[in-house]
Amino acid sequence: MKILSLDFGLRNIGLATSQGQLAEPLKSIRINRGLKQAVNKIALICQQNKFEKIVIGLPEGKLKATVIGFARQLEKKTNLKVDFLPEDFTSFNARQKMIEGGKALKKRKTDEHTVAACLILQEYLDTMNLPNKISGNIA
């Protein structure tokens, strides 16, 4: 199944994808003219890449309602199912991984949400396959 993952930020939305068991970074979208423009851009990406599902990291706090509203708009525009995955510290973890990888500060700032979307998607994929891993070990 071809899945698109989003890490929602107030200025940028990171995108990641997978066609199997590994998440890969895709790109980052700058939010210039509001969420409606971002929904249209992502809907076009979904159509061009034939995504079958969308996974969005769901933060706690003030941003939660905005992300849920954004997801509902995206569902209507794309006719794709949107799943949420609670995200705790994904942007922080993304920054840490990039620091460990030796990425420069400027590159870290541009790639933060894309790497975070990758982490969200990988956790989602790992969670989806947990029963398979467990049942595969029981035999």
- What confidence score (pLDDT) does residue 48 get? 96
Centroid of chain to Cα 87: 10
Give residue-wise pLDDT tens across range 23-74. 999 999 988 888 899 999 999 999 999 999 999 999 888 889 999 999 999 9
**pTM summary value:** 0.80
Q: What is the pLDDT of residues 12-22, one digit of tens each?
A: 899 999 988 99
CA distances to 20, 23, 60, 116, 137 from 17, rounded to whole Å, are 9, 6, 23, 12, 28
Averaged pLDDT score across all residues of the chain: 82
Q: Which CATH superfamily is domain 3-138 in?
A: YqgF/RNase H-like domain (3.30.420.140)
Which pLDDT does position 10 carry in this prediction?
84
Q: How far apart are CA 77 and CA 99, in angstroms?
A: 37
Domain positions in the chain are: 3-138
Per DSSP, the residues of 34-93 read -HHHHHHHHHHHHHHHT--EEEEEE-SSTHHHHHHHHHHHHHHHH--EEEEEE-SSHHHH
